[in-house]
Amino acid sequence: MIKKVLIANRGEIALRIHRACHEMDIKTVAVHSTADAEAKHVKLADEAVCIGPPPATDSYLNIPNIISAAEISGADAIHPGYGFLSENEKFATIVEEHEVIWIGPKPEHIRVMGDKVEAKKTAGKLGLPLVPGSDGAVREIGEAKKIGDEIGYPLIVKAASGGGGRGMKVVPEAGKLESLMKQAGSEAKSAFGDDTVYLEKFLGNPRHIEFQIFGDGKGNAIHLGERDCSLQRRHQKVLEEAPGPTITDEERTRMGDICARAMADMGYRGAGTIEFLYEDGGFYFIEMNTRLQVEHPVTEMITGLDLVREQILVAAGQPLSVTQDEVTFTGHAIECRINAEHPETFAPSPGKVVNYHAAGGMHVRVDSGLYSGYSIPPYYDSMVAKLIVYGTSRNKCIRRLRRALEEMVIDGVDTTLPLHRALLEDPDVLEGNYTIKWLEEWLERNAAASDTQ
């Protein structure tokens, strides 16, 4: 069994991994940049190693320094968390070459799912339903026009190496296809060094539904149901819930089984998330994330499983702690991502937290690296806390979440707490009546309303 895990990350996810490790009697090694010397994950870990200056490229993305930290500390495994090096095939390969256990999927699977064209092809072969579109990359306008005529407009041009919503263009009609395809290609070239693009039918008003899956790397895989992450701003998730308010038990079982079977066929190892757009009862694969997700706690709340523990078990070559038949879904959970940002302009707001008070009480979980007196550094992601609340029903969950949001205090910096409080008063959110477009439109309406006041 694994004895010492190096956590190649920071913030709340580093703490989350540390907690799972200590509950399994595993020692932890924190790594940190000079900007994070006072961070909570550094204080709680059994050992800490400084891996470089503040910019992530010099520290949290610095592969030689992280490998050296593992060697110096005698860590026998590395958990990458999410973001940073978590979906870096090269890093996973180097870790394994150093005979350190990689708590993540096989490097080959990280590679396949990291290239969107290849991911879509693989997903199709494995029987996952796809958004209608080109069969792989499209290089010539003549070919693109033919596909456009077949699938119809509007359509969307997407970059094969895309991420974070970049390199995407919605094409309203055939006349704009050539110019928008060129634009998407050159945007993709400058952002990712690769101008390969492909075409998809543009879905007008879908929801974002994703399935949590787990494989043991030996041909067995299970699903842990879905999450609805439709409340997004600029393709960034803001609030997530499980189960999806519109998903039926039949849909969960049918799609979950398709996902689990696909992962079993692949021989997938560890945690993964298969993302779909969902419209008019149809599911359409968009991508797969080969890592733990920010929003994994809502799944933990309704299944009672510790997903980091499961990751560690399969990385150590042990079986998952449950079979599909033993997985149960009980009640409802919602997560609010709390960012150190202005709640209306979304301008980042790093700086000193003069007073911090986390919400508490029954079924309330706060994952955060904050404490009173902590200074949020300006170099990294602005998400500083996750508030996750459980209730036996969606209504009870919402009531408890409102109460918990009242209790949370983060003084000294701007946060998105007021945004979440307002969202939890909106009739559409209360009814689960929203799509991936809803939040942007709601923000625009509110901005227009405050301008006229």
Catalytic sites, residue numbers: 291
Query: Is the backbone of residue 297 left (phi > 0), alpha (psi -120 to 50) or beta?
Result: alpha
Pair of tokens at residue 25? 């009697």
> Does 231 contact ligand ADP by CB under 6 A?
no
8 near ligand ADP (CB under 6 A):
no
287 interacts with ligand ADP by CB under 6 A: yes
Q: Does 156 bind ligand ADP (CB under 6 A)?
A: yes
Q: Under rule CB under 6 A, which residues in 242-261 are in contact with ligand ADP?
A: none
278 binds ligand ADP (CB under 6 A): no
The stretch among 86-94, 156-164, 177-185, 365-373 that binds ligand ADP (CB under 6 A) is: 156-164
- CB neighbours (10 Å) of residue 171? 22
Distance CA 399, CA 126 (A): 41
If one counts every other C-beta atom within 10 angstroms of the C-beta of residue 74, the result is 12
CB 250 within 8 A of CB 295: no
Closest CA to 385 of 16, 29, 78: 16
Binding segment (CB under 6 A) for ligand ADP, from list 93-101, 202-210, 215-223, 241-249: 202-210
Please tell me the total number of residues recorded for the chain in this structure: 453
Choose one: 8-16, 30-38, 198-206, 354-362; the region binding ligand ADP (CB under 6 A): 198-206
- If binding is defined by CB under 6 A, does position 202 make contact with ligand ADP? yes
CB of 338 to ligand ADP, least distance (A): 21
CB of 202 to ligand ADP, least distance (A): 4
State the minimum distance, in angstroms, from the CB of residue 342 to ligand ADP.
23
CB nearer to ligand ADP: give 49 or 203. 203
Omega before residue 297 within 30° of 0, cis: no
Separation of CA 267 from chain center:
22
Decide: is 162 part of the binding site for ligand ADP (CB under 6 A): yes
Reading the block at residue 100, the tokens are: 């350190």
Nearest to 245 by CA among 272, 274, 207: 207
> Under a CB-based contact definition with an 8 Å cutoff, are residues 324 and 214 in contact?
no
Site string for ligand ADP, 311-350 (x = CB under 6 A): ----------------------------------------
Q: How far is CA 32 from CA 42, 56, 155, in A?
A: 7, 10, 44
Which residue, 313, 309, 314, 307, is CA-closest to 388? Answer: 307
Q: Does 131 bind ligand ADP (CB under 6 A)?
A: yes
Assess 288 for contact with ligand ADP (CB under 6 A). Answer: no
Cα angle: 54, vertex 368, 380; to 5 degrees: 25
Instruction: Choose which of 2, 67, 203, 260 interacts with ligand ADP (CB under 6 A).
Output: 203
Alpha helices in 32-176 (DSSP H): 40-44, 63-73, 89-97, 107-114, 116-125, 141-151
Contacts of 119 (CB under 8 A, 6+ apart): 112, 113, 287, 288
Q: How far apart are CA 120 and CA 222, in angstroms?
A: 21
Residue 286 binds ligand ADP, judged by CB under 6 A: yes
Distance CA 79, CA 101 (A): 9
Quick one: 168 or 258, whose CB is closer to ligand ADP?
A: 168
- Could you tell me which stretch among 26-34, 158-166, 300-308, 386-394 binds ligand ADP (CB under 6 A)? 158-166
Fill in the per-residue mask, 32 to 71: x = in contact with ligand ADP (CB under 6 A), - = not in contact: ----------------------------------------
Q: Could you tell me the smallest distance in angstroms from the CB atom of residue 124 to ligand ADP?
A: 15
Does residue 147 touch ligand ADP according to CB under 6 A?
A: no
User: How far, in Å, CA of 54 to CA of 34, rounded?
Assistant: 6
| Size of the residue set binding ligand ADP (CB under 6 A) | 17
| Sole binder of ligand ADP in the list 302, 314, 436, 439 (CB under 6 A) | 436
The CB-of-371 to ligand ADP minimum distance in angstroms stands at 32
CB 29 within 8 A of CB 75: yes
Residue selected from 54, 129, 163, 267 as contacting ligand ADP according to rule CB under 6 A: 163
Under the binding rule (CB under 6 A), the answer on residue 235 touching ligand ADP is yes
CB of 446 vs ligand ADP, minimal distance in Å: 20
208 binds ligand ADP (CB under 6 A): yes
As measured in angstroms, the least distance from the Cβ of 349 to ligand ADP is 24
165/361 with CB nearer ligand ADP: 165
Q: Does 165 bind ligand ADP (CB under 6 A)?
A: yes
Question: Quick one: which of 358, 341, 342, 355 has its CA closest to 407?
Answer: 358
**Binding segment (CB under 6 A) for ligand ADP, from list 105-113, 160-168, 247-255, 409-417:** 160-168
Neighbours of 234 (CB within 10 A): 10
The rounded distance, in Å, linking the Cα atoms of 330 and 340 is 32
418 preceded by cis ω (within 30°)? no
What is the contact surface with ligand ADP in residues (CB under 6 A)? 131, 156, 162-165, 200-203, 208, 235, 275, 277, 286-287, 436
